[in-house]
Structure 1
């Protein structure tokens, strides 16, 4: 198994950050052939999604999360900025992990799929992402 940690600056706004190039660089440096890429975010308020980016789907995902999980005072978890409790519920919908098949050293993603970090928590400006390659 080969692993690496990335620090991703997400800033103080909701963000969908495309990690696909970072994942590809990691696989190249790991000398990956066939196996599985596991992507893990060790945070209680961030997740990973495999979605299309650049055509509005990333913004649509954030809009859907705002609609499903409004940043208001309904949440029992109340530390941090107003509505922060929703950030702790978000990983139940957008999980903190993703596993992608790797064939010939490349992720077997569909044409429009990207591996993305989803962070709705403006209170935490930096995220750790752990990449692990398991050879098959």
Structure 2
């Protein structure tokens, strides 16, 4: 198992981390990427500063209307980050072919910080493929 570490610099921040996966030669099959935190998420999406601004704006306001949060009676400030993370997801299964990511032209691996700035880790496991019959 590998671990990728990254630093975020804002409370809500979208980061294209595709390069972490593209910089290695992988065995054909699947990669499981798992964010090791309950206030961050990972997904496939389009990259670019405009998209990142949209991801961040939606994430910052998506569940705001549902407060006040029960969780905040003992840990103020990040309940909506936990809720968003659970809905967006903390794991991503990526197809690998020919040693690299086999995703669509515009698909990028996006890490979404929901309670930053923080140091974050992503665990990555390779799941080898067997020929389909």
Using the size of structure 1 for normalisation, the TM-score is 0.84
**Cα deviations across residues 6-63 of structure 1 (Å, max 9, x unaligned)?**
11101242111111010112x42xxx23100111001111110110011522221221
* Structure 1 residue 109 displacement after superposition: 1.0
Gaps of 5+ in 2: none
Report SS of the residue matched to 2:47.
coil
**RMSD of the TM alignment (CA)?**
1.9
Map of 1:50 onto structure 2: 44
Map of 1:7 onto structure 2: 5
* Structure 1 residue 130 displacement after superposition: 0.9
Using the size of structure 2 for normalisation, the TM-score is 0.86
* Paired residue total: 127
Map of 2:104 onto structure 1: 110
* Structure 1 residue 74 displacement after superposition: 1.2
Among candidates 123, 126, 133, match of residue 133 of structure 1: 126
The 2-side partners of 1:133 and 1:24 are apart by: 14
Alignment of 1:69-84 (within 5 A): 69-70=63-64, 74-78=68-72, 79-81=75-77, 84=78
